[in-house]
Amino acid sequence: MAPFREGQSHTHPLQIFFVSREHAHGQLSEQRRIHRFRVDIIDVHEYFLQSSFPSKIGTMISNPFSGASSMKRSLPSSSSRPFLPFCIFLLTVGLRVSGVYAADRPNILFIAIDDQNDWIGPMGGHPMAKTPNLDKLASRGTCFLNAHCNAPLCNPSRTSLLLGLRPTTTGIYGLAPWFRTLPEWKDRVALPQHFANHGYRTAATGKIYHGGTGGGGNRPNAKKGSNPTVLPEFQVTAPFGGVGTKPPKKLIGETPMGNNPLMDWGVWPLDNDDTQKGDYQVASWTLEQIKSAPRDQPFFIAAGFFLPHVPCYATQKWFDLYPDDDSVLPTVLEGDRSDTPRFSWYIHWELPEPRLKWVKENNQWRNLVRSYLASTSFVDAQIGRLLAALEESGHAENTIVVVWGDHGWHLGEKEITGKNTLWDDGTRVPLLFAGPGIGQGKRCTQPAELLDIYPTLIDLTGVSPRNDLEGLSLIPQLKDATTKRERPAITSHNQGNHGIRSERWRYIHYADGSEELYDMVADPNEWKNLAGDPSMATIIAEHKKWLPKIDLPPAPNSANRVLTYDQKTDEAVWEGKTIRRSDPIPQ
């Protein structure tokens, strides 16, 4: 009998036995304990032939891990062989119950959009945004209008969502490290792995983790000779996604702060053919996975779209959806940063994304905004292809669809472009759920976090809960969108810098102690900082109590967009460079 192979947990009888016991006795331990007990079927047969089998099987039912280490003892005497038919019955019928149970669970279509702010139809962030497929999805589900990322940057945001832990708990704030390189998190069971452990077939392509699908599945994710029992992030993956076809040189010319090649946007390719774009290929592969999914096993299929991340290239037909005039520009306030603390610049001190001043002076502001909107509409069309595949394959009625963005993106607001901020433009994200058990056509204004996706999907599917997740289930709001939620949304960008977003207020606390407070009902653009108003002291205190109690420094090997602050010297360090109070703000 061939040994157990990764990605086959739903077919191996012994593995199914352990999953079944998990339903009865709670959360299985992390990967290393699960894999410790994967043995060849021949070993199970030998174990069943042992004379003490009846007492041992009773022990294993009450504690599935207690007797597994004894499975390779010597063969029993022939007196125990009458028990063999009973053992085979358990193996072929009783121990496969969890596989049948899993087949009845809803599927999951997990859609991520990179750098997507609230400029989509259901959220109303831009009055001209054209996203008919997301509009349709929202009409048959629930849209969270006050959802926020837990970190305004790709790697920490996605790591937080998929591990169910805050950045302040893991210390992952920058574009590095990959969490599996850290000893304390290398065996952490991530969201897709949790569903694989419960009989789901997991598949992914595009940008799910910051590094794509994170490796694994039918692609090797470990060097030769490394531990073969490490679970893949997904069982099946494909290397699609990213920019796709690119022009021979940047369309907008050189940009400040390093002329990063990603800082580009405009019409491309010129032949109006979308098929060579990475996101088109992500959708094509994903819809084939949907159509070919087995009927006797639930799926967790993830599609990660790159756009509207820079470079924002889109073909002309998507640009034609938006007028080529200044009516597309967001409303900004001249001198908006005059009442924000100097430390608000420290958390995006020097970035590849140009400031508003540069895009204005170089006649690129309108081009950037139209490129972003065109890219958003293009991605919406790809999501529409996936939703059509669900309908055509007959999976729509039994599939939970969740769409999320990893963080917001400024397009001139607060005098910048890009991310790395703690204002709504940097933290507010799409979060839509549709499918069985979810209210239709609902709009929820209660604060929600990307952290909440993990426990919510657990509750929606009925798989075993976990007691080590820092998010809260959104089931109450999915049943009734008006259900109040006490905890605000909390976003962190490096140690000591946190945004607290309740239903009405946004409070920001920086590492040097400086603060901001905005009334999001009276001032949705966050133009008037109320933190210095003595009458706001109670409001500030109410929000301040939600600052993370665990607030770790950056993890080892952290890099890119990492900021530290020394209170004794009043000096900050941004990406290895010291910042002093007298230093001019980079433009």
Kindly give the pairing relationship between strand 563-566 and strand 571-574. Answer: antiparallel
Strands 201-206 and 299-305: parallel
Q: For the segment 514-558, what is each residue's pLDDT rounded down to a tens digit? A: 999 999 999 999 999 999 999 999 999 999 999 999 999 999 999
> Which DSSP state fits 239?
-
DSSP string, 268-312: --TT---TTBHHHHHHHHHHHHHHH--TTS-EEEEEEE-TTSSSE
Q: Is the pLDDT of residue 140 over 90?
A: yes
Q: What is the predicted pLDDT for the residue at 158?
A: 98
Percent of the chain with pLDDT over 90: 79
Rounded to the nearest 10 degrees, the angle between the axes of helix 41-49 and helix 84-92 is 140
* pLDDT at residue 523, as a whole number: 98
Q: Which residue has the higher pLDDT, 286 or 73?
A: 286
Instruction: For the chain, give the percent of residues with pLDDT over 70.
Output: 80
pLDDT at position 515 is 98
**How far is residue 174's CA from residue 176's CA, in Å, rounded to a whole number?**
5
Considering the candidates 210, 395, 509, 543, report the single residue annotated as catalytic.
Answer: 210
β pairing state of 505-509 and 498-501: antiparallel
Specify the residue for token string 């008037």. 528
Tell which residue, 347, 367, 513, 500, has the closest CA to residue 414. Answer: 347
How is residue 440 written in tokens?
Answer: 């239709």
Confidence of residue 103 (pLDDT cuts 50, 70, 90): confident
Whether 234 contacts 203, CB under 8 Å: yes
| Average pLDDT, integer, range 568-583 | 97
Are residues 163 and 8 in contact, defined by beta-carbon separation less than 8 angstroms? no
Rounded Cα–Cα distance for residues 533 and 537 (Å): 7
292-305 core/surface letters (b: 16 or more CB in 10 A; e: else): ebeeebbbbbbbbb
How many other β-carbons are positioned within 10 Å of the β-carbon of residue 502?
Answer: 20
Above 90 in pLDDT, residue 493? yes
- Spatial separation of the C-alpha atoms in residues 426 and 312, rounded to whole Å: 18
pLDDT band at 231 (very low <50, low <70, confident <90, very high): confident
Active site residue 210: yes
Task: Quickly state the pLDDT bin for 101 (edges 50, 70, 90).
Answer: low
Which position among 87, 143, 149, 154 bears the catalytic label? 154
Residues with Cβ within 8 Å of residue 345, at least 6 apart in sequence: 337, 585
Mean pLDDT of the region 83-112? 61
Categorize the per-residue pLDDT at 37 as very low, low, confident or very high, splitting at 50, 70 and 90.
very low
What's this model's pTM, rounded to 2 decimal places?
A: 0.84
Among 160-164, 229-233, 265-269, the range scoring the smallest mean pLDDT is 229-233
- 298-309 pLDDT, tens digit each: 999 999 999 999
The CATH code that applies to domain 106-492 is: 3.40.720.10
Domain ranges for the chain:
13-101, 106-492
Res. 15: pLDDT tops 70? no
Q: E strands, 82-164, where?
A: 107-113, 141-144, 147-148
Contacts of 178 (CB under 8 A, 6+ apart): 209, 210, 211
Residues 6+ away with beta carbon under 8 Å from 384: 132, 133, 136
- Two structure tokens written together for 336: 């908006």
Dihedral sign (CA 171, 174, 178, 181): negative
Mean pLDDT across 306-330: 98
pLDDT above 90 (res 141)? yes
Instruction: Please state, rounded to an integer, the average pLDDT across all residues of the chain.
Output: 85
Considering only CA atoms, which of 337, 572, 351 is closest in space to residue 582? 572
Q: How far apart (Å, rounded) are the C-alpha atoms in residues 279 and 242? A: 7
Please write the tens of the pLDDT for every residue from 420-477: 999 999 999 999 999 999 999 999 999 999 999 999 999 999 999 999 999 999 999 9
Pairing of strands 410-411, 417-418: antiparallel
